[in-house]
Homo-oligomer: A and B are copies of this chain.
Amino acid sequence: MLRANSIVVDAIPDFLSSDAAQRIKDLRKSKIDVQQLQTDLRSGDRAALSRCITLIESSLPEHKLEAAQLLNTLEPKQNTLRLGITGVPGVGKSTFIEAFGLYAISKGYKVAVLAVDPSSQLTRGSILGDKTRMEELVKSESAFIRPSASGTTLGGVAASTREIIALCEAAGYNFIIIETVGVGQSETTVADLTDFFLLLHLAGAGDELQGIKRGIMEMADLIVINKADGANVKPAKRAQAQLKSALSLFPPKTNFYESKVLTASALEHSGISDVFDEITTYFEQAKENGHFEGHRKKQVLKAFQSMIEQALLFDFTNNPNVKAKWETVVVDLETGKITPRTAVQQLLELYRNA
């Protein structure tokens, strides 16, 4: 039998909880000079950027108001690229991102690398946690690398990451790379945060895919077959042809862009410029035909709706009356004693009469 808590409710960011408003009202005079922080952030100061991120991630009530103030002064930047990258462990994500990031910097971009890692709460950051894996990139003045945002759930991480992106962009970073692992819901989250979605792959499609979730391949704008070097070049080319033909059987995407398959070797720095050119070409076209702006607007509205849903559901599931009855109702549902209709009626009545 499924457990009564099998319905997972995202914990909501603390600032959305019922008593946040009161706590803000009770707020002591702020100790943080938001004005100064903003000025420092806009000057591109990395230390200021880190302080800003710490501020918005803080759970201290006295930081809530400053965080909101800070975020609301940031104008949305249209002149930035947000790239999502996924791939199973072992596909060479860190090496690829380092090579790609350095190339983007050589073309004049400032690069921020963030991660959305649902496992990081347990493993203390399995991806990007170890900056030493991007030794060269971390040394560059034009790069900013940050492990997965804090948060107890994917919804919370997504909300924080969205705000961290805005902070990075305000600090002048105009090429944002968001890394995740291809094993769960996090891909959808990253796709909702980025403009373009890249799937890293290995030659010899099949076994390597075991870890990638269905649907992710269809989500990708670009598939890059990595480690196409040495004896791997031929298998990589073969995999490229296979994947190209598989993609041609897919229904067309909702955006204007036809998904591509490229090969690259992050180790030998080959193919990186082709990937870069492909992505920047996409952005040029998307900006020209209006898809870019429309897509970002849709993402903001989706984030807004999702935050509302999380907050309402959080209030509901934490209502004492609902909580007291919850387990019984779920068991009755699972055993077929009542229908979903009745279950919802029972709980809603308890909630509304609370």
Contacts and interface: CB of A to CB of B under 8 A. Distances in A.
A307 B6 CA distance: 16
A60 interface: no
A55 interface: no
Nearest to A75: B336
B254 A249 contact: no
Given A162-B340, A210-B252, A303-B340, A347 B308 contact: yes
Contacts of A347: 308
Q: Taking each of A166, A209, A254, which has the highest tally of chain B beta carbons within 10 Å of its own beta carbon? A: A209
A-side interface mostly: helix
Chain A: interface size category: 35 or more
A21 B298 CA distance: 37
A308 B308 CA distance: 14
A345 B301 CA distance: 14
Q: How many copies does the complex hold?
A: 2
A341 B212 contact: no
Contact of A209 (B249, B308, B313, B339): B249
Given A16-B345, A249-B205, A313 B307 contact: no
Nearest to A160: B341
Contact of A313 (B159, B308, B348): B308
A120 B352 CA distance: 34
A166 B339 CA distance: 10
Contacts of A301: 2, 6-7, 330, 333-334
A339 B72 contact: yes
Q: Taking each of A2, A250, A252, which has the highest tally of chain B beta carbons within 10 Å of its own beta carbon? A: A250
A250 B20 CA distance: 46
Interface string A284-299: 0000000000100110
A133 interface: no
Contact of A251 (B210, B245, B345): B210
Nearest to A9: B305
29 contacts: A1-B297, A13-B341, A15-B345, A21-B352, A68-B342, A68-B345, A71-B339, A71-B341, A159-B341, A166-B339, A210-B252, A211-B251, A212-B251, A214-B250, A214-B251, A214-B252, A214-B253, A217-B218, A217-B250, A245-B245, A300-B333, A301-B330, A304-B340, A304-B344, A307-B344, A308-B316, A308-B347, A311-B348, A312-B316
